[in-house]
Structure 1
Amino acid sequence: MKHAFVFPGQGAQFTGMGKSHYEGNAFAKKLFEQANELLGFRISDVMFEGSEEDLRQTNITQPAIFLHSVIAFRSIDGARPDMVAGHSLGEFSALVANGTLSFEDGLRLVSLRAGAMQKACDVQPSTMAAVLGLADEQVEAVCAQVQQESGEVVVPANYNCPGQLVISGSIQGVELACAALKAAGAKRALVLPVGGAFHSPLMAPARTELAKAIENTYFNTPSCPVYQNVAAKGIINKEEIKQNLIDQLTGAVRWTQCVQAMVTDGASRFTECGPGKVLQGLIGKIHKEATAESVG
């Protein structure tokens, strides 16, 4: 029986996140204050008191979820993962949990990634949409057809669980794809309130900036495999880990496939560390026999 630790991505944030850790744990308080100093502003104040709108800003959301997730993991006595994975941004939290990245370097990379993604969003207005009730292959085929016929960008971005896929691209591309997906029988094809087309070719400007930062960051040998979004298999090679982090910006989050690979490799218990219980719910839909819990 192997124990997998998993870490959430953007969308899990809420006002008050991490406050109980700050107030009840001296070590957590120290990490929060360290993060405030590293980032150059009091992110803890925004996490504890900020509005939903404040927390939805990419440059706040990503470091806030990373910080909460790492603190939640480190609050577990004797946590020794056999494998780790993270959904999008959560991959950086996972790499701190298995010792590949230091907390400080992880936070710096997450903050830079968030800023670079925000800049890419500002360059070209773009969006994402959730698609429910169609097989992955059907969604892939519709996106490919819309791209071919319209010249607009639209691609599968997040394979969250069977029957739930998020697409990403230009505003017109996503709107055209939503109409075509509904016609193909999707239960829902709903544009999401996000800042831009994450995990699509439109994130290419951010990729260059992140690649340079990753190349200048020290990566340790991991204590256990990380099941990375773009590869959907366990990776322990540092150079592969770096390349997959870079590729993730413009590539799909293959979460369904990551969980399936972890189960195939012996995972029977999953612990989600961080705000919310999104991954716990998805794991239950991907593999019903798995035991999934969350630590917030």
Structure 2
Amino acid sequence: MKYDYIVAAPGQGSQKPGVLDGWMDRSRTARRQVEEWSSRCGVNLIDASRDDEKLKDTAFAQPVIVAASLLSVRQTVRYLGTSSEVILFAGHSVGELAAAAAAGYITDADAVFLACVRGAAMSAACTEPRTGMAAVMPARRDPASDEEIQQTIHDAGLEIANWNGCHQYVAAGRYERIKALAEQEHNGVRVVTLPVAGAFHTSTMEPVVTVFEKALSDTEFRDAGTALVGNGDGEVVTKAADVRSRLLTQVTSPVRWDLCMRTLNKQAKDATFIELAPRGPLTRLYRGTYPDTTCVPVSRPEDLAVFNMLG
């Protein structure tokens, strides 16, 4: 199969106030959709998307991120005049819900609802014990190797929650260990704490599994004839049952975005890489790994004009 486009949906950390406004202003249908999603979730997504404090809460951030990705992918695909069969989909963390909907395995409404359930359960799981996450990467001077970075994380008693590629990792675990890791000096390693509520994609999220499994089992999944790259191992997924299973297991498992990028480039080497709203770090990571790839981050409707210049 020849793919013309790679469509990647970002995860938590990409949210920012007003992320839905441009897409709703461009389309009355989009505004109605968000209102319908809000009603089903019992959360006013429009208000939440404009509130910086609420966006710091996982319970609000996750459905807003998925909503933004879905509004942007529908308008992007329509703008390009293409079909999903020539797109290879992928999503980082909660972005995998948006990717699954964009690829046709679940409805957009179900994706946003599942993000609400997932986000609320994760937020609740972050209360005790206190946990956190930190980005760990090579220092600019005398940079450490990947193996040395991994060892630094393990020596701190932490788990690797995200293998993001481009020599970038996310450590997760007990907050005091994250704090100690950030405050200590490390040869060739740079550490930046992340503004998240807990240790996502680790065993700390085990309480989320039962709640989210029930929501997934109540959701209709259907085979879509499209391909999705799973963020747990970078494998190409084409069956609805497999998509459902992976959405559950990734809650407590590391995100292997490094393997996703490898598969995306192998399967769609000449494709244009599109990162959906809210537009996080995925473009930077992909461009850094495959510098010859044409990358288009779509954060606002105005960004669609870039495609006119690509020909």
TM-aligned CA deviation for residue 178 of structure 1:
4.4
Partner of 1:103: 108
Partner of 1:288: 291
3-state SS, counterpart of residue 22 of structure 1: helix
Instruction: Note if contact 2:100-2:243 (Cα within 8 Å) is conserved in structure 1.
Output: no
- Say if 2:48 is the partner of 1:43: no
- Say if 2:138 is the partner of 1:138: no
- Say if 2:178 is the partner of 1:168: no
TM-aligned CA deviation for residue 179 of structure 1:
6.0
Hey, what's the Cα distance between the residues in 2 that align with 1:183 and 1:42? 44
Hey, what's the Cα distance between the residues in 1 that align with 2:115 and 2:199? 18
Hey, what's the Cα distance between the residues in 1 that align with 2:200 and 2:213? 16
Write out per-residue CA displacement over residues 40-69 of structure 1, whole angstroms, 9 at most, x where no aligned residue: 23211221x32x222111111100011111
Write out per-residue CA displacement over residues 121-148 of structure 1, whole angstroms, 9 at most, x where no aligned residue: 013210001112143332333333443x
Instruction: Note if contact 1:256-1:286 (Cα within 8 Å) is conserved in structure 2.
Output: no
Partner of 2:74: 74
Partner of 1:18: 20
Partner of 2:253: 251
TM-aligned CA deviation for residue 215 of structure 1:
2.1
Hey, what's the Cα distance between the residues in 1 that align with 2:148 and 2:209? 28
Hey, what's the Cα distance between the residues in 1 that align with 2:128 and 2:224? 36
Hey, what's the Cα distance between the residues in 1 that align with 2:253 and 2:232? 6
Please, which moves more after superposition, 73-82 or 94-103?
Answer: 73-82
Kindly provide the amino acid, as one letter, of the partner of residue 62 in structure 1. Answer: Q
3-state SS, counterpart of residue 127 of structure 2: helix
1:272 to 269, 275, 282: 275
1:84-233 alignment, distance < 5 Å: 84-133=89-138, 134-147=144-157, 154-178=158-182, 182-186=185-189, 188-233=190-235
Unaligned 5+ runs, structure 2? 139-143, 300-311
Write out per-residue CA displacement over residues 67-106 of structure 1, whole angstroms, 9 at most, x where no aligned residue: 1110101112134343100111100000011100111211
User: Structure 2 vs 1, CA of residues 293 and 277 (structure 1 numbering), >3 Å: closer, same or farther?
Assistant: farther
Instruction: Note if contact 1:156-1:165 (Cα within 8 Å) is conserved in structure 2.
Output: yes
User: Structure 2 vs 1, CA of residues 46 and 172 (structure 1 numbering), >3 Å: closer, same or farther?
Assistant: closer
Kindly provide the amino acid, as one letter, of the partner of residue 108 in structure 2. Answer: F
* RMSD (Å), alpha carbons: 1.8
Kindly provide the amino acid, as one letter, of the partner of residue 73 in structure 2. Answer: F
Identity %: 27
Instruction: Note if contact 2:166-2:285 (Cα within 8 Å) is conserved in structure 1.
Output: no
Instruction: Note if contact 1:231-1:244 (Cα within 8 Å) is conserved in structure 2.
Output: no
Hey, what's the Cα distance between the residues in 1 that align with 2:169 and 2:239? 29
Q: Show structure 1 runs of 4+ deviating over 4 A.
A: 176-180
Unaligned 5+ runs, structure 1? 148-153
- Say if 2:236 is the partner of 1:234: yes
3-state SS, counterpart of residue 183 of structure 1: coil
Instruction: Note if contact 1:6-1:86 (Cα within 8 Å) is conserved in structure 2.
Output: yes
Kindly provide the amino acid, as one letter, of the partner of residue 173 in structure 1. Answer: R
TM-aligned CA deviation for residue 208 of structure 1:
2.1
TM-score of the pair, normalised by structure 2? 0.86
Partner of 1:55: 55
